[in-house]
Amino acid sequence: MGWFNRKKKHIAPTTKKTVIPDGQWVKCDDCGELLHVKQLEVNSWVCLKCNHHFRIGSEEYIKILLDENSFKETEKKMRSANPLEFVDTKDYNERLKTSMKKTGLNDAVRTGIGKINGKKVAFAAMDFKFIGGSMGSVVGEKIARIIDKALENKIPLIIVSQSGGARMMEGALSLMQLAKTSARLTRLADAHIPYISILTDPTTGGTTASYAMLGDINIAEPKALIGFAGPRVIKQTIGRDLPKGFQRSEFLLEKGFVDMIVNRKELKDKISLLLDFLG
Amino acid sequence: MINNILDFEKPIVELEQKIEEMKKLDDNLDIKEEIKTLEEKINHLKKSVYENLTRWQRVQLARHPQRPYTLDYIYNMTEDFVELHGDRLFRDDKAIVGGLAKLGNEKVMIIGHQKGRDTKSNLYRNFGMPNPEGYRKALRLMKMAEKFNIPIITMLDTPGAYPGLEAEERGQAEAIARNLFEMSKMRVPIIVVIIGEGASGGALGIGVGNRVLMLENTWYSVISPESCSSILWRSWEYKEQAAEALKLTAKDLLELKIIDRIIPEPLGGAHKNQEEMAKILKEVLLEELAALKKMKPEKLVEDRIEKFGAMGVYIE
């Protein structure tokens, strides 16, 4: 064996990224099938051949889950203030500016009031493409305020999570958003207002360790990565490869942490049915 | 002792040793004046060193192997401690300890992370890194405290929740989330003290209180400086810069309005005088407890939700 050969065979590189490339034709990350964007959009960004769920953002979830033109966005202008004046290899202000320009979003979550099959709901959807969907002060505050809106209007709450966890660049302030959002949810629970949490790929770290796991009903999309510690960290800790399917939706269903896995195409009707039961 | 001296402690320790040697010398030698001058010099040096520690140096003090841990505080501050074990679901997690105790004249439920002092005890305590059953044990004890109207004191000192395979299988995230939710609505006073390392969700998982206090030489943040360095700088070498950037000291957190109060440590840090440290903490806890006991249960809940609700900085 050559000196350059990797000795530890059991450590494999982590999974590849999934992003929707620009242009009219897209290759499925899973089966490689070439699909037309229009075709995919009609199919809720689910591969027509292999059922792979493409990673989409708040804009798409608003279209897929809410009745047409029913979404009224709240706290649209809220943005990060860089309270720590955080600088790593890049200035946090710069990171924010770049992300805002690239995504057209102000932060990693959008909130508002909308309708699901005619029923009014308080709605939030996160965007992984904005600094890894990380939760800093803005995400925490927007989630807290949409919980307040649900409470005020006595309407159910739906949160679509997609996040790498708490945002490092706001230090302990980000961490406190876990407590802020979870604490606020107790009021909703006391008022007997239903909260349905939708976990999409990926939902990890502080987001999972707060509101994403606290739904009256937790629903996962197929094969989404859901967990607390990231797979890379766990792999380093235990020093071996992780079992196939570890921290995927199917694993969480088996271990008892989500109620069900629902195909994105059926998600709206499933939520609608559940809200029928819960009020 | 000599192995456990941090770099910035060295000049102080060297001077201290010199004085000890001089004191052992013949009484006939007239060096009393000299010793006195040296002692003054040491005090001066200590003050200037410990007042001007960098953030990274505070992180090092927070991890000092001689630093008092939860059980040390319990033994030094309280009487009649009865340890309670297990989450009634899976097993007893040794990285979180808890039980009933008397703090002065007050009955309290004390719960905290527990590290070990040597390799063997550290393996037993899993280096103070809880699994889900640790958080669930803590919750069980807190609910018991609520049932019998006993105030809760939690002590935070963990390098993080354990990032293991089984921890994920048993729902580490759910266990922490559940605690944040349930702690918010406890109808008894909760006082949280960061006594060492406050690493992320693993620390916050027992950290939702009416009062959040931090010892002078501790840290509390969303991630450890090392992990932050490895993710943002893609190397483990930038931990000092990461510690600076994260603004993770007691002073920083007081300015950010995340904690209510900084508890001073004996000169040189809590490990220099464990009994003195415990005495200081006990007084503070009794004072805070007296104030919180005047609040009605509904008010305590409201206060906690509003307190954490006010944390965060953003532009509208």
How is chain B split into domains, by residue range? 2-52, 58-309
Q: Where are the beta strands (DSSP E) in chain A?
A: 25-27, 34-36, 72-74, 79-80, 109-116, 119-126, 157-163, 195-203, 217-220, 260-261
For residue A49, give how far its alpha carbon lies from the nearest alpha carbon of chain B (Å).
31
A76-134 pLDDT, tens digit per residue, is 999 999 999 999 999 999 999 999 999 999 999 999 999 999 999 999 999 999 999 99
Residue A89 sits at the chain B interface (C-beta within 8 Å): yes
Q: What percentage of chain B has pLDDT greater than the value 70?
A: 98
For residue B300, give how far its alpha carbon lies from the nearest alpha carbon of chain A (Å).
13
Task: Tell me the average pLDDT of chain A.
Answer: 93
Instruction: Give span(s): CATH 3.90.226.10, chain A.
Output: 56-278
Residue A84 sits at the chain B interface (C-beta within 8 Å): yes
pLDDT band with cut points at 50, 70 and 90 for residue B1: very low
A213, A240, A251, A254, best to mutate vs chain B, most B CBs in 10 Å: A213
Q: What is the ipTM of this complex?
A: 0.95
Cβ under 8 Å to A: B residues 292-311:
301, 304-305, 308-309, 311
Q: What is the torsion angle, in degrees rounded to the nearest 10, for the CA atoms of residue A138, residue A144, residue A148 and residue A151?
A: 140
pLDDT band with cut points at 50, 70 and 90 for residue A17: low
Q: Using CB atoms, which residue from B168, B233, B309 is nearest to A184?
A: B309
The CATH number that domain B58-309 falls under is: 3.90.226.10
What does the pLDDT average to over B187-206?
Answer: 98
- How far is Cα B241 from Cα A87, in angstroms, rounded to an integer? 9
Give the orientation angle of helix A58-65 with respect to helix A264-278, to 10 degrees: 60
pTM more than 0.80: yes
For the stretch B204-233, what's the b/e string if a residue is b when 16 or more beta carbons lie within 10 angstroms of its beta carbon?
bbbbbbbbbbbbbbbbbbbbbbbbbbbbbb
Q: Using CB atoms, which residue from B161, B245, B315 is nearest to A228?
A: B161
B206, B219, B222, best to mutate vs chain A, most A CBs in 10 Å: B222
Cβ under 8 Å to B: A residues 201-240:
205-206, 208-214, 227-229, 233-234, 237-238
A232-279 pLDDT, tens digit per residue, is 899 988 999 999 999 999 999 999 999 999 999 999 999 999 999 997
pLDDT band with cut points at 50, 70 and 90 for residue B26: low
Q: Which helix (H) or strand (E) holds B262?
A: strand B261-263
Q: Using CB atoms, which residue from A173, A211, A214 is nearest to B313?
A: A173
Q: Which chain A residues contact residue B221 at CB under 8 A?
A: 171-172, 175
Rg (CA), chain B: 21
Q: Which helix (H) or strand (E) holds B157?
A: strand B152-158
Residue B118 has pLDDT above 90, yes or no: yes
Say which CATH topology domain A56-278 has.
2-enoyl-CoA Hydratase; Chain A, domain 1 (3.90.226)
B254-263 pLDDT, tens digit per residue, is 999 999 999 9
Residue B235 sits at the chain A interface (C-beta within 8 Å): no
Residue B241 sits at the chain A interface (C-beta within 8 Å): yes
Q: Using CB atoms, which residue from A138, A179, A234 is nearest to B163?
A: A234
A173, A217, A254, best to mutate vs chain B, most B CBs in 10 Å: A173
Contact A77 B204 (CB under 8 A): no
B154, B174, B229, B260, best to mutate vs chain A, most A CBs in 10 Å: B174
Q: Using CB atoms, which residue from A186, A243, A247 is nearest to B185?
A: A186
